[in-house]
């Protein structure tokens, strides 16, 4: 079975631009969470979606938004990019609504560089 | 304040030595979950263990063992007879439930383990 997939693998954007990152969960998983991992730090929770509804939101500005589609795939959108948005963006999928009660499987991430 | 503290930034051990990675967490919830993840140089986080707050039994899986102590809010991870393949960054994480059935996840800053052959 395929694991969590993310696209693109790498991305270079300019300050002020917009970016869309994509994630496909493991088949049968209905919940997706997004994380930002700055170099040398642990992942920071951004969003959690279950059954197309937002179930959790971390401490990120409104420039960050996400959505989940009927096939449970998800997009993370970031507007008005800042240099500080440069990071590895990780997507994790799990079966149920609570990431704590189910094992999370992480994708390989999208490396975003903002210049 | 950090919800999850991993005080050891970097650790180096010689192959076959035992090593313990420390994790201290902070929460007011009575129901929560603790995790350990491994992040090898390839970057993909690999799940190692999940423990709920009501289960304080220590767990052993091969060369890996975990010591959960609620009294000290610690969830330490020991690798016995370390191997070069254990070299990676290890993250401890805490999950707290949210009102809408979701969960808020907090990761520590990670401990970089280098096993020297």
Summarize pLDDT for A37-96 with one digit per residue, the tens: 999 899 999 999 988 899 888 899 999 999 999 999 999 999 999 999 999 999 999 887
For all residues of chain B together, what is the average pLDDT?
92
Half-sphere exposure of B57 (CA within 13 A, CB side): 4
pLDDT category of residue B7 using cuts at 50, 70 and 90: very high
Retrieve residue A48's tokens: 């959690």
Contact yes or no for B90/B111 (Cβ under 8 A): yes
The size of chain A, in residues, is 115
pLDDT category of residue B98 using cuts at 50, 70 and 90: confident
Contact yes or no for B21/B90 (Cβ under 8 A): yes
Chain A residues at the B interface, defined by Cβ less than 8 Å, are 33, 35, 40-45, 48, 50, 55-56, 58, 88, 90, 92, 97-101, 103-109
- At residue A99, the pLDDT reads 54
Which of A10, A30, A42 best tests the B interface by mutation, with the highest count of B CBs <10 A? A42
């Amino acid at each position: 079975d395929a694991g969590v997939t993310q696209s693109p693998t790498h991305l270079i954007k300019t300050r002020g631009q917009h970016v869309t990152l994509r994630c496909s969960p493991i088949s049968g998983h209905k919940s997706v969470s997004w994380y930002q991992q700055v170099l040398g730090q642990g992942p920071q929770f951004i969003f959690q979606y279950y059954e197309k509804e937002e179930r959790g939101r971390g401490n990120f500005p409104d420039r960050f938004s996400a959505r989940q589609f009927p096939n449970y795939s998800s997009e993370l959108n970031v507007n008005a990019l800042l240099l500080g948005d440069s990071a590895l963006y990780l997507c994790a999928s799990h079966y149920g609504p609570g990431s704590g009660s189910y094992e999370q499987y992480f994708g390989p991430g999208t490396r975003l560089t903002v210049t | 304040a950090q919800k999850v503290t991993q005080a050891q930034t970097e650790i180096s051990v010689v192959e076959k030595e035992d090593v313990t990675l420390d994790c201290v967490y902070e929460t007011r919830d009575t129901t929560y979950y603790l995790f350990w993840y491994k992040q090898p140089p390839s970057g993909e986080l690999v799940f190692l263990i999940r423990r709920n707050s009501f289960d304080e039994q220590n767990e052993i899986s091969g060369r890996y063992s975990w010591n959960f102590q609620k009294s000290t809010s610690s969830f330490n991870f020991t690798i016995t007879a370390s191997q070069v393949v254990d070299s990676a960054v290890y993250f401890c994480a805490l999950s707290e439930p949210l009102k809408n059935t979701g969960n808020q996840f907090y990761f520590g800053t990670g401990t970089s383990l280098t096993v020297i052959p």
